[in-house]
Amino acid sequence: QVQLVQSGAEVKKPGASVKVSCKASGYTLTSYGISWVRQAPGQGLEWMGWISAYSGNTHSAQKLQGRVTMTTDTSTSTAYMELRSLRSDDTAVYYCARLGVAGTRGYSYFDYWGQGTLVTVSS
Amino acid sequence: DIQMTQSPSSLSASVGDRVTFTCRASQSISSYLNWYQQKPGKAPKLLIYGASSLQSGVPSRFSGTGSGTDFTLTISSLQPEDFATYYCQQSHSPSITFGQGTRLEIK
């Protein structure tokens, strides 16, 4: 069965960086994209970006460009998201999600999700 | 970016009720619209993709309609496990966006 297992909670100081991992199992990592979505406490879902595990191409949300890097390691079937220059408003649960595609029109959606990683930014 | 607006922001209903959620896009997104359910402390769960296609394993009481800018998610007969927050999400643009969510509460 498809599973995405994320790394554990992190506490960081403002200005630091955090790197969250997402280990995929039950499917071939390079057959699907991986997106990262975050959720601040009590707030909605915010899409951060996407990486093609096949080509390594990425696309990130404009507000995070320059601070976020997404990578994959196909040898370990693991995706990574690094966020730099952390601020207090980066405190959130960070999710990885598999990007599925269906139909001749190429409808894409997040069909499997990791369990989430809480990142707390506090001095 | 394409803005997604959900209404209402919260909704109270009883078990057995029929409920409808609305999602509006700031520009046409054809049928590139997905719906998710999220329960507290859990990751979102895909319910509907392509505006009207039911994800495998999702009960048939969930249905989605719409195209262009206006979309709806309907639960035909509420069950106790359906009380959660529901999000729409567009995948028309490479910059994906979510609606702000509709919280479904027990009346």
- Give how far A75 is from chain B: nearest CA, Å: 26
pLDDT tens digits, residue range B18-50?
Answer: 999 999 999 999 999 999 999 999 999 999 999
The predicted pLDDT at position A104 comes to: 82
Q: Which residue in chain B has the smallest CA separation from A49?
A: B95
The predicted pLDDT at position A106 comes to: 84
Distance, in Å, from the CA atom of A37 to the CA atom of A25, rounded to the nearest integer, reads: 19
Residue B2: its chain A contacts at CB < 8 A?
none
Nearest CA to A50 out of A61, A39, A41, A40 is that of A61
- Give how far A94 is from chain B: nearest CA, Å: 10
The predicted pLDDT at position A105 comes to: 82
What are the Cα distances from residue A81, in Å, to A20, A59, A117, B14, B46? 5, 12, 11, 41, 22
How many A/B residue pairs have CB atoms within 8 Å?
Answer: 70
The predicted pLDDT at position A69 comes to: 98
Q: Which residue in chain B has the smallest CA separation from A42?
A: B40
The predicted pLDDT at position B33 comes to: 98
* Residue at A94: amino acid letter: Y
Q: Do B89 and A103 touch (CB under 8 A)?
A: no
Can you tell me whether residue A62 is helix, strand or coil? Answer: helix
Q: Do A45 and B1 touch (CB under 8 A)?
A: no
> B10-13 and B102-106 as β-strands: parallel, antiparallel, unpaired?
parallel
Q: Which residue in chain A has the smallest CA separation from B40?
A: A42
Tokens 């979309």 found at = B71
Q: Which regions of chain A are under pLDDT 70? A: none
